[in-house]
Amino acid sequence: MTALSSNAVALVALFSVLVTYGARAQQENYSTSVANSYYSGWLPAKATWYGAPNGAGPDDNGGACGFKHTNQYPFSSMTSCGNEPIFKDGKGCGSCYQVRCLKRNHPACSGQAKTVMITDMNYYPVAKYHFDLSGTAFGAMALPGLNDRLRHAGIIDMQFRRVPCNFPGLTINFHVEHGSNPMYLAVLVEYGNKDGNVVQMDLMEANSGYWAPMRESWGSIWRMDSNHPLKGPFSLRIRSDSGQTLVANNVIPANWRPDTDYRSFIQFK
């Protein structure tokens, strides 16, 4: 009975911490400038994990950014949810961060930095900065052979800093989403190098000479709602949060189809 009572008390205490930190985090007025600056120094955060112990997070290898196959390269299951200062209402999708935990945080921590990509949204933050890592990414912060021991901690203190993404051999990919039609075009942007994220996308119809701003639909998916049938081929212009702008000329052909990838020849440098 004593052991059972102790476990019950521990669970109640953990739940109280989560509720308290969650309420506090939702009330804070976050500033994203420090968290999203390159090599600004290590910042404190809380880390949890979700999904399968050696998985990429969601069971479908997706997430709130719209990325697909996050168990494959370049994601390689090293993925994470971010709370609002990191996720930035979707504009943080594709950003890369180094994460680490130290021995003072947990005896199984290696202290070595590992790089993760933001692919999902953390809806219940327990700290000002909260990374809900994939099981793979959480375990990667451990000493060799102690991955499961670290995962059993459930929630730990850790550190993070933003770093450029590095995807050798990849160019920007544009995936035309399911449900797109001549009056509605939704495009997922993925595999952005360096900054990793896209904060604005514009579309130019065939021979129009005019860039029309697209609206952020959700995550890394941008949409165009039109009052006339859209005429391809389409050129796309994208801008990252550091101000880099790229143009993919005629990247989506006139005979485009939904559920199709259109790989460009452009990449952030």
pLDDT of residue 31: 55
CATH 2.60.40.760 for domain 173-263: yes
- Comparing CA positions, the residue from 157, 89, 158, 122 lying closest to residue 22 is 122
* In the chain, domain spans: 24-163, 173-263
CATH number of the domain at 24-163, please? 2.40.40.10
Tens digits of per-residue pLDDT, 192-214? 999 999 999 999 999 899 999 99
pLDDT band, very low/low/confident/very high, at 34 (cuts 50, 70, 90): confident
* Tokens, residue 55: 């998985």
State whether residue 3 is helix, strand or coil. helix
Residue 268: its pLDDT value, please? 94
- pLDDT confidence of residue 21: 43
Digit-coded pLDDT (tens) for 118-142: 999 999 999 999 999 999 999 999 9
Per-residue pLDDT tens digits for 47-73: 999 999 999 999 999 999 999 999 999
Spatial distance between the Cα atoms of 36 and 47, rounded to a whole number of angstroms: 17
Kindly indicate the confidence band of residue 40, based on its pLDDT and cuts at 50, 70 and 90: confident
Mean per-residue pLDDT for 139-161? 97
What distance in Å separates the CA atoms of residue 33 and residue 43, rounded to the nearest whole number?
12
pLDDT of residue 19: 42
Burial, 216: exposed, middle or buried (Cβ in 10 Å; 0-12, 13-18, 19+)?
middle
Tell me the whole-structure pTM to 2 decimals: 0.86
Higher pLDDT, 216 or 3: 216
Contact criterion met (CB below 8 Å) for 138 and 151: yes
